Structure 1
Amino acid sequence: MAAPTPAEDRAALRQLVENWAIWRDAGDWDRFATVWHPVDGWMTATWFQGPAADFIAVSREGFDRGVSILHFLGGHSADVVGDRAITQTKMTINQRAEVDGVLVDVVCTGRFYDFCARHDGDWTIVRRQPIYEKDRLDVVDPGASLTLDPELLGRFPAGYRHLAYLQTKAGFTVKAGLPGLTGPVVRRLYDEGARWLAGSATAGDPHAEE
């Protein structure tokens, strides 16, 4: 069998990212599990950091409870070296929940930064690290009013502070110091991506974000 062409690899990687969003948001958990590397899959989010299998389990629990988190994708790029790749995909994370009794939507815009590897001939995600660029909070009922706690809002970086505010109010423990559009944390992520393509033993250090 002929090796995939660069165009075929890029198309397969784009399909991988699209499958992640479609299957996760639809609650298609068996197929969602197939997008991850079966041994090394790792997910970092505002509210979760850990192995892909655990992320699937807690996402399923939240889905069954009615937690509403949806993902929408935009532009995509892929850097491929042999059986490894780094992909970046523009995205929005949309979450609806009540904050202090008021129903709100939070929209967070950024990128999915994915460390990918070929496994048994198919591309899989080894590590997903979102980059959070900006967000906003809107009340669903335009006649409703909501006053945010500035101290709580100020605990988190500008790129995802409204998302973190909603999730904290909903009972999640939200991680501070995740990568944004600029700064040392996102630069470290880019360096980890470059090392991954150069053959590093691991897909960076997902425990290192502070």
Structure 2
Amino acid sequence: MVYNVTEKETQPTIWSHINGSTEEILDRYAVTEIVKGWPLYRDASEWNHYRDCFSDEGAYIFTTWSGGMTIDQFIEVSKKGRANGDFIMHREGGTLVDLNPATKRAVGKMKATITQRFVIDGITFDVDCDSRFIFFCQKEKSKKTGQLGWKTKYYKVIYEKDRVIPVDGKTVPTFQESELKKYPPGYRYLGAAQATLGHKVLTDLPTFEGEGMFKMYQAMDTWLEGGDIEQLLGVPNH
């Protein structure tokens, strides 16, 4: 079977996602602001602004190269990686939000391209990975200000497809097939390239292949309904 997005409906439930009351529109806009903090703040090392986009306590995220960890752990790992030469950027391709005003929960869906630069065997190249960043957000009271506001509680990615980009327009390294096969098609080249930097890359993240993407959509609906999604996302019990 050709690797591709399913032809089946992935989210039968329709939440507040366009139009609606002024309050709904403003809430969805506020969530959009929160999720845009990932590419804008993280890529510029604006760590204080970036941290402010996440829940005060219990925020948990997953990436290929860092695994799953709390947001504070991820920031520290990101700082160390950047200091060691990791060069990861992001391009936003559009963002929309599903909202349930009754539970004060929302899901931000951002189309984004992860783009990371590598040097292997003296060859400089990029790997671009088209993805959907999924942000599980809730309205909560800030410990700093005491005011209600939207924050991201959980973050996980659906990896769609990746490719190797020659920086000079013609030269890319050769990846061994045995290395590529360790990772699913959605982030195969990205995973193999990140592994050369010494990262332990997760091999079971959601892609178009398998049940991972459908579990993500199940988690989205469960979250919006007010349910617990830690098991669906794979967040460890603390």
Task: Give the TM-score normalised by the residue count of structure 2.
Answer: 0.81
Show the counterpart of 1:64: 83
Q: Report the equivalent of 2:150.
A: 123
> Residue 94 of structure 1 contacts residue 107 of structure 1 at CA under 8 Å; is this kept in 2?
yes
Note the C-alpha offset of 1:111. 0.4
Q: CA RMSD in A?
A: 1.9
* Contact 1:29/1:60 (<8 A) preserved: no
**Residue ranges of structure 1 left out of the alignment (5+ in a row):** none
Structure 2, unmatched stretches of 5+, are 1-20, 142-147
Given candidates 182, 200, 222, the residue that maps to 1:173 is 200
What does 1:112-151 align with in structure 2 at a 5 Å threshold? Answer: 112-120=133-141, 121-151=148-178
Q: Show CA shifts across 1:126-163 (max 9, x none).
A: 11111100000122233535221111011111110010
Task: Map residues 102-113 of structure 1 onto 2, 5 A cutoff.
Answer: 102-113=123-134
Residue number in structure 2 paired with 1:97: 118
Instruction: Choose the corresponding residue for 1:197, options 206, 209, 224.
Output: 224
Instruction: Report the CA distance between 1:181 and its aligned residue.
Output: 2.6
C-alpha distance in structure 2 between counterparts of 1:67 and 1:10, whole Å: 33
- 2:72 is matched by which residue type in structure 1? A
Give identity over the alignment, percent: 31
1:73 aligns with 2:92: yes
Q: What is the TM-score with the length of structure 1 in the denominator?
A: 0.92
Task: For 1:66, give the aligned amino acid.
Answer: G
* 2:70 equivalent to 1:55: no
Q: 1:203 offset after TM fit, Å?
A: 4.7
CA displacement, residues 175-197 of structure 1 (integer Å, 9 cap, x when unaligned): 00210135311101111111111
For 1:91, the aligned partner's letter is: A
* Structure-2 residue corresponding to 1:39: 57
Deviations 1:50-80 (A, max 9, x none): 1111001111122233311001111222111
Closer/same/farther in 2, CA of residues 107 and 145 from structure 1, 3 Å limit: closer
CA distance in 2, matches of 1:107, 1:88: 19
Deviations along 1:84-105, one digit per CA (max 9) or x if unpaired, are: 1111110000000112332110
Q: Between Structure 1 and Structure 2, how many residues are aligned?
A: 207
Contact 1:196 1:203 in 2 (8 A): no
Matches of 1:178 and 1:162, distance apart in 2: 14
1:7 aligns with 2:30: no
Q: Distance in 2 between the 1:43 and 1:14 partners? A: 18
| Residue identity opposite 2:49 in structure 1 | R
Secondary structure of the 2:58 match is: coil
Q: Distance in 2 between matches of 1:184 and 1:59?
A: 29
Q: 1:23 aligns with which of 38, 41, 48?
A: 41
